[in-house]
Chain A
Amino acid sequence: MSSPPGAHLPEHPDFLWENPEPKASYDVVVVGGGGHGLATAYYLAKVHGITNVAVLEKGWLAGGNMARNTTIIRSNYLWDESSGIYEHSLKLWEGLEEDLGYPILFDQRGVLNLAHSLQDVRDSVRRVNANRLNGIDAEWVDPAGVKEICPIVNISPDVRYPVLGATYQPRAGIAKHDYVAWGYARAAHAMGVDLIQNCEVTGLETSGGRITAVETSRGRIAAGKVALCAAGHSSVLAKMVGLRLPLASHPLQALVSELLEPVHPTVVMSNAVHVYVSQAHKGELVMGAGIDSYNGYGQRGSFHIIEQQMAAALELFPIFARAHLLRTWAGIVDVSPDASPIVGLTPVGGLYLNCGWGTGGFKATPGVGDCFAHTIAHDKPHPFNEPFTLERFTTGALVDEHGAAAVAH
C-alpha cells in the first residue's frame, strides 16, 4: 500500500528560533506570544524597522488560541469597518507564504456560510451585497449550488432546518496554524526580535501616565512601549494599570477526527445550527463547537457542548456518522459586546491594546499584526483599526457583527 493523498505535510525548517535570556530593556515589549503578538513583532521589525523588541510568552509560543483554533480564514463580514481589516488581512494571507518563507499551507478552498431560515437568507444576501461593494469576493448560492461546491452537505428539504442557500467566498480558506505562528516567529527572530518563553507578565509599571516597564516571572524588563496581545487574558493584564475592558473570557471548544480520505473540499459554517467544519490537509475533520456560556480561564469546556455540536454536524453532514472524535480541547476567547475587536491606544501612554477578537482572531493575524505594529510605531491607529477603539462603547459607535456573523468565527 502506498501513502494516501494529503498524508504529507511539508517539512519545517531546520532552524526556528533561539531562546534568549531577556534583556534589561526593549523599545517595544509585546505581551503574548501568540499569532497576534508574533505577527505584531514581525511587522514592527519588517515595516517599521523596530527590532529591539521582545515578545513575552508565559507558556510556549503560540500555545494559546493560536494552537487551538479551527484555522478558518475569510473576510466576508457585514460592516465596512470589519470588511476593511479582515480583507486587509486576507490580502496579506495571499502573500504570506512567500513573505515568511515558510510553508503555511494557506489553501483558498472557499467558505460556505449556510442559511437555514428566510431571515438567514435576507441577512446573507445583505452581507453578500455589502461584501461585493467593498470589493470582497462573495456570492449567494442556492441549495443546488451548495451541493455542487460541497457534495456532502445534506440539502434535503425534509430535515429540521433545511439549507436554503449559502454565501460563498471563494478566496476564503484555511491555513496550518502552527506553521503560521512559527513562520512569524522565525522571521521575527531573524530580524532580531527576542522571543522569550516561560515568561509571565506579573505587573505593568507606569510613571507619569506612561508605561515604563513590565514585571515578569523572569524579572523586570524596561520598555519604551508595551503592546498587549493576550487574548483571553487581556482583562487581567489591563487591570494591572487600572484599565477595565468590556470583555468576558469564555471557553471555546474545538475537536478533531482521525485522518480520513478527502470528502470535504471547502469550509462550511452554519450559525443557525452552530457548525463550522473543514477537513485539514492530512485528512482530519476539524470542527468548532459553540462557546461555553460562562466566564472561564480553565481552557476546558463542558461536554454537552460537544454533544450538541455532533448532533448539529450530523444533521448537515450525515456522512460524518462514523467518523471518530479523536481529541477535544478548549481555548479562552475574549468576547466583546459587539463581537468586534478592540485595537488601539489606551489612556496610558505607550500602552497599546489588541483584544476582543472573540472567536475570530486567527483569520485576522496578518492584518492586525500589520495594523497594530503601525499603531505602535506611530502612536496612532492605522485607518483599518481606527474604528475599533475602546471609546466606541461610550459613544455607541459599535460595530455589531452579531447580526450577520452570530458566532463570528
Chain B
Amino acid sequence: MNFRTPTGGAIDRNTVLRFTFNGQALTGHPGDTLASALLANGVHEVGSSVKLGRPRGIVAAGSEDPTSLVQVETPFSEPMLLATTVELFDGLQARGLAGQGRLSPEPDPARYDAKHEHCDVLVVGAGPAGLVAALTAARSGARVVLVDEQNQAGGALLGVDEYLDDRPSAEWVADIVAELRTTPGVLVLERTTAFGMYQDGFVLALQKRTDHLGFAAPASVARQRVWRIRTKQTVLATGAHERPVVFADNDRPGIMLASSARTFLHRYGVLPGWRAVVFTTNDSAYCAAIDLAESGVDIPLIVDARLEAPARLATECAARGIEVRAGHVVTGTEGSARVTGVHVAGQTVPCDTLLVSGGWNPVVNLFSQARGKLRYDSELGAFVPGEELASVRVAGSATGELDLNACARQGRDAGAAAAVAAGFTPGGQVPLPVSDSRCTQRTGLVLWRVPGDEDVSFVDLQRDATVTDVLRATGAGLRSLEHIKRYTTIGTAHDQGKTSGMIAAGIVAEALGVELADQRPTTFRPPYTSVSFAALAGRNRGELHDPVRVTAIHPWHVAHGALFENVGQWKRPWYYPRDGEDLHAAVLRECRAARESVGMMDGSTLGKIDVQGGDAGKFLDMLYTNMMSTVKVGRIRYGVMCGVDGMVIDDGTVIRVGEERFLVTTTTGNAARILDWMEEWLQTEWPHLDVHCTSVTEHWATIPLVGPKSRDVLAAVAPSLDVSNEAFEFMTWQDAVVAGVPARVCRISFSGELAYEINVTAWHGLAVWEALMEAGSPYGITPYGTETMHVLRAEKGYPIIGQETDATVTPQDLGMAWAVSKKKPDFIGKRSFARVENLRTDRKQLVGLLPVDPTVLLPEGSQIVETDRLPEPPVRMLGHVTSSYPSAALGRTFALALVRSGRERIGETLYVPVEDELVPVTVTDSVLYDKEGARRDG
C-alpha cells in the first residue's frame, strides 16, 4: 500500500530509488530517509527489542529515535544505524536489528580523514535560531562555522509547512544560507554533527560526506570527516526533542511522536497511517493532527491529558470533524506488529497509528559537556541551561523557548553577543521572521506516565526497561539517577536516552516523592550521536599509523634480502639470510665473518646529539655517571646515564669534538627521550649553563666496520688516513676522507674486535657503504644485522640498555662500577646509590650463564632457580636470562642473566626451568670472549 501523499515534501518524485529491506524489494525517492521510505511503503515494524523480542518501529524522525535500528548492507555492511538518519540511495539493502549489530569481517574500503578548522563563532544547528545567529555573526565579519546534522538547513522548519514573512519557510532558509555561503570566512557544513565539546572551545564534529551517494560515492573522497573545530565562541542552537508519555503497551510499531509524524508528512510526503489517534499533553500535537487530517488521514480522536483543551485549536479540530477529549489519557494499546487500537476511558478506539506528545526536552548535551550547569524547568518538565558561560551561548528551543519568533530573537542576540565577545562589531541586523503558524506553542502539562500495567509500560524502548524496572530500583534502595540508570539500563542504548532520560528522572522523582529540581540529571557524555571507530582513526592507519624511519642505506638492505626488526620507529636490518638460512645459521655466519675477517653494519639509527657550549663538559658530567669534562679533544669515552633514582636509562659513547663541543650517542630507541632529558635539565634546572643541544641523528650515516681485516678495508678506501694502531689509537677519532667523501672515523668497538665506526653525511651513506662492500670483497666482507651485533657484544659481556636492564638496574648491578665516578661531587642518580636498597649485597647482578650441556639454548626470559627440583609455588626466583645465543666464537651456547648475588655465585650451578625440565647452568663472569681484550687492536 502506498502511503505517499500525492504532492509535497522535499523529495524528487520523478526519480525512483530501489532498495530492499529484510529482503523485500521496495522503492523510494531522493530526499527520503530509509525510515520515510519504509513508512511510504507501509512498513512500521523495523526490528525487535533486545531483551523481550517485541516488535519495534519508528518513533521519531531524526537522530533521537530510540528504535529504528538497522544493519545497512550496501555498499558496505554497517551495524546499528537508525533508519531515520540513513539517506536513501539506489541499491540500498538493509535489515532490521534486534538491538545488536553485526561487524563485517571484510576490510572497510572507505577512506576517512580529519580537518582542523579555526573560527570566531561556531553555530551548532541550522534551525531558525542557529541561522539567525550565524548570519548575525557573519555580518560582523567574524569567521563563522555553521554545522548541522541534517542534509539541509532549516531544523524544525523542515518538518512543518509554515510560512515565514508570508512565504514558504524554505525560501526564508534558502535566503539566509545563500548569504552565508557568499560571505567570506563563513563555512556551512551539512550532514555534520557536533558530537563533542571539550576544553577551550574545542568542538568535534562528524561530517558524513558520501554515505548518501551509496554506490556512486567516489572512492577518492573520504567517506566521513572529523572536524576538529577550535572556536572562540559557540552558539548552541541544538533544538529540542519531543518526548513521549509512558503508558501500557506504548512500544508497538505505529506509535510515533506527533511532531515526527508531521515531519514525515511535510518533509517526505509520507503518511504514517490512515487512522491516527493523538495523545498529547500540549498544543503542538494539534498541529500534527490538523495537518494529517488535511492530508486525508482519519483522526478519530485527540486525547488531551489537560483538563481543558485549547479553545481555538479545539474549534479548528471540530471544523475538521476531529473529536477532542480533554482530561483523558491513553491507558493502553492493542496490536502486535502494529498498533490496532488505543484504550481510552475503558473503550478501544481502532486505529493504525498513535501519535504522542509529552512535551519537549531541550537538547542540552553539548552545553552540559561544556560544563554548563542545568536547571530544572518545572513548567517545561525538562532540564534547561541554568547558567551563562563565557564562551558558550544557547539559543532557540535548546533553551526551552518554543515560540519561533522568540527563538530567532535569541539566535540574533546570541550571534551578536558571540561576535562581540570574539572582538567584532555587529553588522546589519537580521530581520526576525514572523510565522503564520496556528500553533502558538505554549507549555503543557508535565506528565511522565499513565498508570497501568507497569511491566509493559516502557521507559526505554531500546533497552526494554519498564516502569516496573524503575520502581524495583527505587524499591531496592537506590536514590541516585546514576544508580537507577545502571540498575535498569535506561539511557545506555545507542540513543543514550535522548527521549527516555527525562521521563525516567520524572518517574523516579515521583516514586521517591522528591523534587526534580533537587535532582542531578545523569551526565551527558560525548559523543552526542555515535561515531564510527574508523572515522576517529582517520588516516592514522596502516603505513600512516606511526611514521616509519629508515636510514640512508635502507634500500641496499632491502635489495640484499635483509629481514628487519622494528626498533622504536626505525626499521633496522635484523639479519641477512642467504639461501635457506634460518636466523641461527645466518647469525653464526655473520658473527664468524666479524670475528675472523670483516663485517659491517648500518649503525645510522644510533641517536646522536651535538652538545655545544662553554659549559658542555660540566653539563655532561652531571648527566653521565662518569667524568666527561676530562675527555681530551680527539678522544672518546663510553658513558652511562642514570635517572634520579639511580637506575640506568641509557649508555653510549661521547666524543670530544672540540673544547666546547661533544658528540653524544644514545641507544636507537632512546634518542628522542635523551634529548628531551637533556633539555629538561638544561632549561629547568641549569639555565645558567652555556650549553646547546641539537639532534643530529639523521645528519649522519654510521657504519661500524668490524673485524681483524677492518683495518685493511678502511686503508683501501681511505688512503690518506694512517690506520695503524699507533697513529689511530683505540677510543680516538679522526676526520678523514673515506671513499672520496669527508668522514669522521671513530675507533670504538661494540664487539671486542678491531673496529672503526665510519660516519659520513647521510647523503653519502649509501655510496660509502657500497665502497666498503667493494673494498672488503677480497676479505669476504659480510653485512650483519642487529642480531649479530647482539651476539658479538654479549660474548664480550656488554649490556644492551632495555634488554639487560628494566628500570631496576644500576651501573653497579651491571658490573660497571668502573664507569661511576668517585671524583665527581654529584651527578644525576648518585644520591640514590646510597639508599638502603642499593646497598644490599644480594642485588641482582649481570653474569654469564653456560648451560652444562653446551648445545642447550636457554630461552631468553627464562627464570633462574637455586635447586634442581622445583618446590610447590611460589618458587623463589634468583633472576632471569636477559640474552641467550649460540656462539660461533665459543663453539657453544651461552647467556647473560641478572642473578641475585650473581657475582658471588660465579662457579655455582643454578637451574633454569625450560618447559618441564630444569636445565643446569654454570654461573660465569659476564665476559666470555677475549677477556684480556687482545683483539681490540687487531
Which A residues form the contact surface with B (CB < 8 A)?
1-4, 6-9, 12-19, 59-61, 63, 67, 80, 83-84, 116-119, 121-130, 132-136, 152, 159-161, 178, 197, 257-261, 263, 282-283, 300, 302-303, 306-308, 310-315, 318-329, 394-398, 400, 402-404
CB pair A322–B108 under 8 Å, yes or no, is yes
Cβ A122 vs Cβ B199 within 8 A:
no
The one of B198, B533, B880 that contacts A321, using a Cβ cutoff of 8 Å: B533
Closest 6 CB pairs of A and B: A135-B873, A125-B861, A396-B837, A126-B861, A324-B530, A321-B108
**Which residues of chain A are within 8 angstroms of B104 by Cβ–Cβ distance?**
319, 322
A63 contacts across to B, CB distance below 8 A: 480, 482-483
What number of A-B contacts does a CB cutoff of 8 Å give? 273
User: B85-121 interface mask toward A, CB cutoff 8 Å, 1 = contact, 0 = none?
Assistant: 0000000000010111111110110000010000000
- Least Cβ–Cβ distance between A302 and chain B, in angstroms: 7
Cα A258 to Cα B532 in complex, Å, equals: 10
Interface size class of B (residues with CB under 8 A): 35 or more
**Contact residues in A for B479 (Cβ distance below 8 Å):** 19, 60, 197
Would you give 14 A-B contacts (Cβ < 8 Å), ordered by A?
A7-B98, A14-B472, A80-B877, A132-B913, A133-B870, A133-B877, A135-B872, A258-B101, A259-B100, A259-B101, A311-B536, A314-B534, A326-B494, A328-B525
Alpha-carbon gap, A166 to B107, bound state (A): 24
Report the minimal beta-carbon distance from A388 to chain B, rounded to whole angstroms: 15
Query: Is B198 in contact with A15, judged by CB distance below 8 angstroms?
Result: no
B687: CB under 8 A from chain A? no
B44 to chain A, nearest CB (A): 15
Nearest Cβ in chain B — how far from A61, in angstroms?
Answer: 7
Please provide the chain B residues from 457 to 493 with a CB less than 8 Å away from any CB of chain A in the complex: 472-473, 475-480, 482-483, 486-487, 489, 492-493
Contacts of A9 in B (CB 8 A): 489
Q: Contact at A319–B103, with CB atoms within 8 Å?
A: yes
> A133-B863, A307-B536 are known contacts. Are A327 and B496 too (CB-CB below 8 A)?
yes
Confirm or deny: B821 has a beta carbon within 8 angstroms of a beta carbon on chain A: no
Q: B896 → chain A, closest Cβ, in Å?
A: 12
The distance from the CB of B153 to the nearest CB of chain A, in whole angstroms, is: 25
- Which chain B residues border A16 with CB–CB below 8 Å? 476-478
Contact A321 B98 (CB under 8 A): no
Do most interface residues of chain B lie in helix, strand or loop, or is the interface mixed?
Answer: loop
Q: Is B808 an interface residue (CB 8 A)?
A: yes
| Chain A neighbourhood of B566, CB < 8 A | 116-117, 161
Given A1-B98, A258-B530, A260-B79, A310:B537 Cβ within 8 A: yes
Contact A129 B537 (CB under 8 A): no
6 further contact pairs, Cβ within 8 A, besides A135-B872, A307-B536, A321-B108: A1-B98, A122-B803, A310-B536, A311-B540, A321-B534, A323-B103
Given A323-B532, A325-B533, check contact A13 B476 (CB 8 Å).
yes
Interchain CB contact (< 8 A) of A261 among B78, B100, B107, B832: B100
A394 to B838, CA, bound (A): 11
In the bound complex, residues from chain B placing their C-beta under 8 Å from that of A260 are: 79-80, 100-103
Query: Does B808 lie within 8 Å of A61, measured CB to CB?
Result: no
Docked Cα-Cα span, A118 to B883, in Å, equals 11
Chain A residues with CB under 8 A of B492: 327
Q: A325 touches which one: B527, B806, B838 (CB < 8 A)? A: B527
Q: How far is the CB of B376 from chain A (nearest CB, A)?
A: 18
CA distance A324 to B526 in the complex (A): 12
Partner of A322, one of B493, B534, B645: B534
Asked if B359 lies at the interface with its beta carbon under 8 angstroms from chain A, I say no
Q: Tell me, in angstroms, the Cα distance from A7 to B76 when the chains sit together.
A: 25
B48:A324 contact, CB within 8 angstroms? no
Specify the chain B residue showing the minimal Cβ separation from A301.
B198
- In the complex with contacts A60-B483, A133-B874, A161-B566, A2-B98 CB distance below 8 A: yes
Query: Is B345 among interface residues, defined by CB-CB distance under 8 A?
Result: no
> Which of A4, A116, A312 has the largest number of chain B CB atoms within 10 A?
A4
The answer for the CA separation of A48 and B836 in the assembled complex, in Å, is 35
Which residues of A sit under 8 angstroms from B934, Cβ to Cβ?
none
The CA-CA distance from A314 to B496 in the complex, in Å, is 24
Closest residue to A6 on the B side, CB-wise? B100
* Docked complex Cα distance between A132 and B545 (Å): 35
B698 interface residue per 8 A CB criterion? no
For B103, give its contact among A4, A122, A261 (CB under 8 Å).
A261
Bound-state CA distance A319–B872 (Å) is 43
Chain B, range 822-877, C-beta contacts under 8 Å to A: 832, 835-838, 859-863, 865, 870, 872-875, 877
User: Does any Cβ of A come within 8 Å of B929's Cβ?
Assistant: no
Interface contact A322-B525, CB-CB below 8 Å: no
Specify which of B114, B483, B802 is in contact with A61 (CB 8 Å cutoff): B483
Whether the pair A307, B862 counts as a contact (CB closer than 8 A) is no
User: Would you call A322 and B494 a contact (CB within 8 A)?
Assistant: no
- Contact call A403/B96, Cβ cutoff below 8 A: no
Within 8 A of A (CB), among B14-62: 47-53
Complex Cα gap A61–B475 (Å) = 16
Q: Which residues of B contact A135 (CB under 8 A)?
A: 872-874
User: In the complex, what residues of B have CB within 8 A of residue A307's CB?
Assistant: 114, 226, 536-538, 540
| Nearest residue, chain B, Cβ from A117 | B566
Residue from A12, A161, A398 within 8 A of B808 (CB atoms) = A398
CB neighbours (8 Å) of B80 from chain A are 258-260, 324
| Known pairs A2-B53, A258-B79, A322-B532; A315 contacts B807 (CB<8 A) | no
Q: Which of A15, A159, A323 contacts B475 (CB 8 A)?
A: A15
Closest to A263 in B: B103
Question: Is B541 interfacial (CB-CB < 8 Å)?
Answer: yes
